[in-house]
Amino acid sequence: MENISVPSQDIEKNKELAALSYLWIFSLIILVARRDSTFIQFHARQGVVLFLLSVLLWPFDFLRYGEIVILALMILGFIQAAMGNTNRVPVIGDIAEGKFGLSDVREALHFIKHTAIRMVKPEHVTPSFKKEADNQYRQETTHQNTSEISPENELMEREEKKLSVLFHRVEDQDNKIHELEDEVHLLNTKINTHE
């Protein structure tokens, strides 16, 4: 959590109101009403982000556990504001300041999707995961110093490339098998619904 610079008289005068800005809808009211205090605005923006996240999660039963995390972050922000600290709430502070963009959201969703797939089907490798592995492999091989390659290392590299090609062929075939399994499953469910 990083700090921002705020005049000490602003903090002493407004820390109670800044703490109240983490109490659900009060964050919006305080954000609009008290534009004169940098300290209040800092905490109110974070409170608004937490409020909006809680509103977005509320309708979905399977995401209700996220409310516990949001409540914990609200309590953390409340305590920090009441103590007169200017620490950012983890992740929320970056969102409130606009440092957390659409690409970060996509990356987070991508990570969540692949984590869920690996939990359900550990043997399943998605094309984007394979692409990430290829990029990582290329980066590792690029960092090696090519001027000091011995004939044995050249042979090893050629064999590794052959293995990599074979691995990708196997992965492609495995992906095709998974697609066919999914199609068979869909057909079975259609047949079962018509019976």
Q: Which residues of the chain have pLDDT under 50?
A: 1, 147
Please count the CA atoms within 13 angstroms of the CA of 117 that sit on its side-chain side. 14
The SS3 call for residue 53 is helix
Domain boundaries, the chain: 8-100, 103-194
The SS3 call for residue 62 is helix
Let me know: does 34 contact 10? Beta carbons within 8 Å.
Answer: no
Using N-to-C axis directions, what is the helix angle for 102-120 and 127-143, rounded to 10°?
110
pLDDT value of position 140: 64
pLDDT value of position 114: 67
pLDDT value of position 183: 85
Give the mean pLDDT of the chain: 76
Burial (CB < 10 A; 0-12, 13-18, 19+), residue 96, is buried
Q: How many residues does the chain have?
A: 195
pLDDT value of position 1: 43
Q: Distance from first CA to last CA of the chain, Å, rounded?
A: 59
Q: Per residue in 132-175, pLDDT tens?
A: 667 766 766 665 555 456 777 777 777 788 777 777 777 778 77
Task: Please tell me the pTM assigned to this model.
Answer: 0.50
